[in-house]
Amino acid sequence: NAGVMQNPRHLVRRRGQEARLRCSPMKGHSHVYWYRQLPEEGLKFMVYLQKENIIDESGMPKERFSAEFPKEGPSILRIQQVVRGDSAAYFCASSPLGPDEKLFFGSGTQLSVL
């Protein structure tokens, strides 16, 4: 059973470009969470999704950021018009049943904005 798969591992973008980060949860998991880890900081919650629904997006910046988890395919975190401050490691996690279960994390996508 493959773990949580994130790609790409490293993504380089110039200011103003779009970044698309992908996350395939573990098989059988229908709950996906996105976290951002800035240099020398902890993990900050961004968004919690179930299939086709956004459950909690209280940690998402109001502009330029969006997330989806379609019925088929991976979850996508999309950042439009990236700025240098978006440079960070973005981690995806999934869980099997719901909020009371432990999280299984992917290896992350390191986004670098030039």
Partner 1 sequence: GDSVTQMEGPVTLSEEAFLTINCTYTATGYPSLFWYVQYPGEGLQLLLKATKADDKGSNKGFEATYRKETTSFHLEKGSVQVSDSAVYFCALRETNAGKSTFGDGTTLTVKP
DSSP string, 5-46: EEE-SEEEE-TT--EEEEEEPPTT--EEEEEEE-TTS-EEEE
Q: Which residue lies nearer to partner 1 by CB, 71 or 102?
A: 102
Residues 6+ apart with CB under 8 A from 54: 47, 48, 67, 68
Out of 17, 55, 68, 96, the only residue in the binding site for partner 1 (CB under 8 A) is 55
Q: Which residue lies nearer to partner 1 by CB, 55 or 76?
A: 55
β-bridge mates for residue 79, sequence order: 19, 65
3-state secondary structure of 96: coil
Q: How far apart are CA 114 and CA 105, in angstroms?
A: 27
Number of H helices, E strands in the chain: 0, 11
Residue 39 interacting with partner 1 (CB under 8 A): no
Tell me the closest approach of the beta carbon of residue 41 to partner 1, in angstroms: 6
Tell me the closest approach of the beta carbon of residue 44 to partner 1, in angstroms: 8
Out of 7, 17, 29, 43, the only residue in the binding site for partner 1 (CB under 8 A) is 43
Tell me the closest approach of the beta carbon of residue 80 to partner 1, in angstroms: 23
* Site for partner 1, rule CB under 8 A: 4, 6, 31, 33, 35, 41-45, 48, 55-56, 58-59, 91, 93, 99-100, 102-103, 105-108
